[in-house]
Amino acid sequence: METKVNYAIVGVFVVALSTALVAGILWIASGGAFQKHYDLYLAIEEESVAGLNLNAPVKFNGVDVGKVRAIQLDPADPKRVTLTFAIETGTPIKTDTEAVLKTQGLTGIAYVELSGSSAAAPPLQAAPGEKYPVIRTKPSLSARLENILTNVLAKLDSTSNSINALLSEENQLAFKQTLANLAAVSGTLAARKGTLDAGIASAAKTFDNSARATEQLGPVIERIGRSADSLDKMGTEVAATSAAAGKTVETVGADLKRFTSESLPEVQRLLGEISVLAASLRRLSEKIEGSPGGLLLGRRPVPPGPGERKPK
């Protein structure tokens, strides 16, 4: 019995399957529902990016989060290299995130490592006038080692120049002369060894005599100390005597003041009376000298002048 095949159904099935296959291929090529979305960021490197290629991985704490989309020189400064990163949307790129170049093992394949992004830092945004946010960068390990080696080599070069200047012919000649002088001094000391030994022995005797003199000075110093104590005691007694004399002077001064206030007016009055008495005695003496008889006969009447009458 011959089987009948419906070619129309087969043709429709083949066309539908081909259409579905083409649509699936186009959907997969366009990314489909599982395609990841990326955000673009920039980074400015001021060192060589040798070994870093397009589509090199960009990692965040060791986890792949994107790729290097573009590498180009900065037109404003050719010493700088502008890197464009395509990083998965939702990756915590914040203001404190830093990018650094690293290499994988011994192969030397370079990639970009992101680190930082503390919880308190805000998300990184594009600056006004900029198209994409710019991630900060820091020198790679190779760049830091190169700087350290450069500084070390510069210091070694400076040290080498200093050593060469120190070992110049002039300094070498001076060093040889110094050694010759030291040798001459050593020879002189060796030649005068006996004199030096005698001097050392004399110095030892001098030290012994000084020690004995120091022992003898002990009692003298003690007597001087006792004398100082006696002088101190004498000074204390003199101070006490001065205080007593001061009190006596104060007492005499008080008595003198009292005498001046009480007796001086009487003395002044007595002196005034004595002065009056002396004046009277002087007048009496003058009268006696002028008319001694007047003292016995009394005062004679004065004869009348011309034209005057005698008193009856």
Q: Does the pLDDT of residue 253 top 80, yes or no?
A: no
The predicted pLDDT at position 65 comes to 92
> What is the bridge-based pairing of β-strands 77-88 and 98-104?
unpaired
What pLDDT does 209 receive?
A: 78
Residue that is written with structure tokens 């110095």 in the block: 203
Q: Which residue has the higher pLDDT, 195 or 72?
A: 72
The domain spans of the chain are 38-138, 192-262
Residue 207 vs residue 43, higher pLDDT: 43
pLDDT band at 33 (very low <50, low <70, confident <90, very high): very low
Residue 83 in contact with residue 73, Cβ under 8 Å?
Answer: no
Q: What is the 3-state secondary structure (H, E, C) of 269-293?
A: HHHHHHHHHHHHHHHHHHHHHHCCC
Across 4-13, 98-107, 150-159, 246-255, which has the greatest mean pLDDT? Answer: 150-159
Report pLDDT for 249: 53
Inter-residue contact 69 to 40 (CB < 8 Å): yes
Angle at 151 between CA 150 and CA 154, to 5 degrees: 85
Phi, psi dihedral angles at 13 (to 5 degrees)? -65, -40
pLDDT higher than threshold 80 for residue 25: yes
Lowest-confidence region among 101-105, 165-169, 228-232? 228-232
Rounded average pLDDT over 139-166:
84
pLDDT in tens, 50-90: 888 899 999 998 899 999 999 999 888 888 999 999 999 98
Q: What is the pLDDT of residue 88?
A: 92
Q: What does pTM read for this prediction?
A: 0.44
Confidence of residue 296 (pLDDT cuts 50, 70, 90): very low
Token readout for 293 is 């008889």
Whether the per-residue pLDDT at 210 is higher than 80: the answer is: no
**Rounded distance between C-alpha atoms, residue 95 and residue 73, angstroms:** 24
Nearest 5 degrees, angle CA 199-CA 204-CA 207? Answer: 125
